[in-house]
Amino acid sequence: MKYIIFFSFFFTSFLFSQDMTNMREYYFVELLRIPDRPVLDSTTTMKIQAAHLNNIDSLYKAGKLVLAGPFGDNKGGGIFVLKASSLEEATQMCESDPAIKNKRLNYTIRPWWTDKTSFTAEKD
């Protein structure tokens, strides 16, 4: 027990002693395929997917999307890492996505902190 308390104190001290000047809050979005979504014809599905990809491109060009991509398994879905000033703004960005509007994907958003210099492709 004494070792657990010591380790907890040491780890907490280490975290708070770190230089936070490069830390930035982003929003991690997990996009999830809705399992009981309506079956659509392939033309409609392709239009929604194209609009989803156009939305991703627009967010990137606006400097709001740092990272995006699909999961590599057969469950579908993917992730966004958004650069937003608030959870509300991140939610609005997600709600504007055509795949979410058309009930193809659902999402969860979590605030996420990391060193902003770790995203070498990020636009400032």
Locate the domains of the chain by residue range.
Answer: 22-118
pLDDT in tens, 100-112: 999 999 999 999 9
Q: Which fold has domain 22-118?
A: Alpha-Beta Plaits (3.30.70)
The pTM of the full predicted model, rounded to 2 decimals, is 0.77
Residue pair 80/88 in contact by the 8 Å Cβ criterion: no
The fraction of the chain above a pLDDT of 90, given in percent, is 66
E strand segments, the chain: 23-33, 65-70, 78-82, 105-115
- 10-19, 23-32, 51-60: least confident range: 10-19
pLDDT in tens, 20-48: 678 889 999 999 999 999 899 999 999 99
Examine the pLDDT at 75 and tell me if it is beyond 70. yes
Residue pair 69/19 in contact by the 8 Å Cβ criterion: no
